[in-house]
Structure 1
Amino acid sequence: MKVLLIWPILPNSFWSYQATLDMAGLRATNPPLGLITIAAMLPPEWELRLVDRNVRFETDEDWDWCDMVLISAMIVQKQDLQELIQQGVASGKKVAVGGPYPTSVPEVALDAGAQYLILDEGEHTVPLFLEALERGEERGVFRSAEKPDVTQTPIPRFDLLDLDAYLAVTLQFSRGCPFQCEFCDIINLYGRKPRTKTPEQMLKEFDALYEMGWRRLVFVVDDNFIGNKRNAKMFLRELIPWMQAHHYPFMLITEASLNLAEDDELIDLMVQAGFRMVFMGIETPDMDSLAVAHKEQNTRRSLIESCHKITEAGIQIMSGFILGFDGEKTGAGYRIQQFVEETGIPQAHLGLLQALPNTAMWQRLKREDRLYQEVDSSGPQKSLMNFEPTRPLQEVVMEFVEAFWQLYEPMAYLKRTFHHFSRMGSHRPPSQYPLTQKEWRLILGVCWRQGIVRSTRLRFWWQLLVMAVRKPNLLFDYVAALAFGEHFFTFRHEVRSSLVSKLAQLQAQPVDESKDLPSVESPELVH
Structure 2
Amino acid sequence: MKALLLWPIMPNSFWSYQETLDLAGLRSTNPPLGLITVAAMLPNDWEVKLVDRNVRLETNEDWDWCDLVIISAMIIQKDDFRELIAKGVKLGKKVAVGGPFPTSVPEFALEAGASYLILDEGECTISMFLEALARGQEQGIFRATEKPDVTQTPIPRFDLLDLDAYMAVTVQFSRGCPFQCEFCDIINLFGRKPRTKTPEQMLAELEVLYQMGWYRYVFIVDDNFIGNKRNAKVLLRALIPWMEARNYPFPLLTEASLNLAEDDELIELMVKAGFTIVFMGIETPDVESLAGIHKEQNTRKSLMESCYKITQAGLQIMSGFIIGFDNERTGAGERIQQFVEDTGIPQAHLSLLHALQNTEMWNRLKEEGRLYEGIATAYQGSLMNFQPTRPIEEIVAEYIDCFWNLYEPLPYLKRTFRHFMMMKGQRPKIKHRLTGHEMRLFLMVCWRQGVVRTTRLTFWWQFIAIALQKPSVFYDYFVALSLGEHFFTFRHQVKARLETKLKEFQQNKQAQEKAGYQLEAVS
Same fold (TM over 0.5): yes
Letter in 1 for 2:293: A
Q: Give the superposition deviation at 1:424.
A: 1.4
For the 8 Å contact 2:50–2:160, the answer to whether it is kept is yes
Q: Name 1:478's counterpart in structure 2.
A: 477
* Alignment correspondent of 1:449: 448
The residue type equivalent to 1:403 in the other structure is C
Which residue does the alignment assign to 1:504? Answer: 503
Which residue in the other structure is 1:157 paired with?
157
Please identify, of 441-450 and 181-190, the stretch whose mean Cα deviation from structure 2 is larger.
Answer: 441-450
Shift of 1:426: 4.9
AA matched with 2:332: A
Asked whether the 8 Å contact 2:151–2:198 carries over to 1, the reply is yes
What secondary structure, in the 3-state scheme, does the structure 2 residue paired with 1:50 have? strand
Q: Deviations over 1:71-100 (max 9, x none)?
A: 000000000000000000000100000000
Residue in 2 aligned with 1:143? 143
Q: How far did residue 507 of structure 1 move?
A: 1.1
Letter matched to residue 213 of structure 1: G
Pairwise CA distance, 1:434: 3.5
Assess if the C-alpha contact under 8 Å between 1:116 and 1:140 holds in 2: yes
Which residue does the alignment assign to 2:382? Answer: 383
Deviations 1:437-463 (A, max 9, x none): 322222111101100111111110011
Q: C-alpha distance in 2, partners of 1:396/1:184? A: 20
| In the alignment, structure 1 residue 405 sits paired with structure 2 residue 404 | yes
Q: Deviations over 1:299-323 (max 9, x none)?
A: 0000000000000000000000000
Letter in 2 for 1:191: G
Equivalent in the alignment of 1:416: 415
Partner of 2:300: 300
Residue by residue over 1:253-305, the C-alpha shift from the partner in whole angstroms, topping out at 9 and shown as x without a partner, is 00000000000000000000000000000000000000001000000000000
In structure 2, the residue matched to 1:518 is: none
Asked whether the equivalents of residues 180 and 294 of structure 1 are also in contact (C-alpha less than 8 Å), the reply is: yes
Task: Using the aligned pairs only, state the percent identity.
Answer: 71
Q: Is the CA contact (8 Å cut-off) linking 1:442 and 1:480 kept in structure 2? A: no
User: What TM-score comes out, normalization by structure 2 length?
Assistant: 0.96
Q: Deviations over 1:322-377 (max 9, x none)?
A: 00000100000100000000000000001000000000000000111110122343
Q: Given that residues 247 and 433 in structure 1 are in contact (C-alpha distance below 8 angstroms), is that contact kept between their aligned partners in structure 2?
A: no
- In the alignment, the residues of structure 1 paired with residue 53 and residue 270 of structure 2 have an alpha-carbon distance, to the nearest angstrom, of 34
Amino acid at match of 1:384: L
- Are 1:396 and 2:402 matched, yes or no? no
Which stretch shifts more, 498-507 or 427-436? 427-436
CA deviation after TM superposition for structure 1 residue 506, in Å = 1.0
Q: Helix, strand or coil: the match of 2:41?
A: coil
Q: Partner of 1:222 in structure 2?
A: 222
Give the counterpart letter for 2:347 in structure 1.
Q
How far off its partner does 1:484 sit? 0.2
1:259 corresponds to: 259
Letter in 1 for 2:270: M
- Tell me the CA shift for residue 432 of structure 1: 3.3
- Pair 488,433 (structure 1): closer, same or farther in 2 beyond 3 Å: closer
Residue 135 of structure 1 aligns to which amino acid in structure 2? Answer: R
Are the equivalent residues in 2 in contact too, given 1:258–1:282 (CA < 8 A)? yes
Q: Aligned residues, how many?
A: 508
Offset, 1:435: 2.3
TM-score norm. by structure 1 comes to 0.96
Matched with 1:428 is 427
Verify: 1:199 aligned to 2:199, yes or no: yes
Shift of 1:433: 4.5
Give, as a single letter, the amino acid of the residue that structure 1 aligns with 2:229.
Answer: K
**What is the SS of the residue equivalent to 1:282?**
strand
Residue 136 of structure 2 aligns with an amino acid whose one-letter code is G
Match of 1:3 in 2: 3
Residue 118 of structure 2 is matched in structure 1 by: 118
Aligned CA RMSD, in angstroms, stands at 0.9
What per-residue deviation string (whole Å, max 9, x for no partner) do you get for residues 107-157 of structure 1? 111111100000000000000000000111000000001000000000000
Asked if structure 1 preserves the Cα contact closer than 8 Å seen for 2:72 and 2:97, the reply is yes
Q: 2:516 — aligned with what?
A: none
Deviation readout 1:370-428 (Å, 9 max, x if unpaired): 10122343x43111110010111100010000000000000111111011011012510
Q: C-alpha distance in 1, partners of 2:288/2:406?
A: 23
1:508 aligned counterpart, secondary structure: helix
Q: d(CA) in 2 for partners of 1:329 and 1:84?
A: 43
Residue pair 2:216, 2:432 contacting (<8 A) in 1 also: no
Contact 2:76 2:379 in 1 (8 A): no
Distance 2:375 2:411 in 1: 32
Query: 1:426–1:471: 8 Å Cα contact kept in structure 2?
Result: no
Letter in 2 for 1:437: G
Q: Distance in 2 between matches of 1:237 and 1:121?
A: 28
Distance in 2 between residues matched to 1:442 and 1:260, nearest whole Å? 32
Report whether the alignment pairs 1:208 with 2:208. yes
CA distance in 1, matches of 2:336, 2:431: 38
**Which residue does 1:282 correspond to in 2?**
282
Cα deviations by residue, 1:166-192 (Å, 9 ceiling, x for unpaired): 000000000000000000000000000
1:327 maps onto 2:319 in alignment? no
Residue in structure 2 matched with residue 440 of structure 1 by the alignment:
439
Equivalent residue runs for 1:309-388 within 5 Å: 309-377=309-377, 379-388=378-387
Equivalent position SS for 1:3: strand
User: Residue 357 of structure 2 contacts residue 376 of structure 2 at CA under 8 Å; is this kept in 1?
Assistant: no
State the secondary structure of the residue aligned to 1:51. strand
**Is the 8 Å Cα contact of residues 337 and 407 (structure 1) preserved in structure 2?**
yes
Q: Secondary structure at the match of 1:49?
A: strand
CA contact (8 A) 1:333 1:400 kept: yes
1:74 aligned to 2:108? no
Q: Does the 8 Å contact 2:317/2:345 carry over to 1?
A: yes
Distance 2:114 2:13 in 1: 27
Aligned to 2:95: 95
Task: Provide the rounded CA distance (Å) in 2 between the counterparts of 1:425 and 1:9.
Answer: 40
Mapped to 2, the partners of 1:192 and 1:445 lie a distance apart of 44
Is the contact made by 2:356 and 2:376 (CA closer than 8 Å) also made in structure 1?
no
Q: Equivalents in 2 of 1:440, 1:301: separation in Å?
A: 42
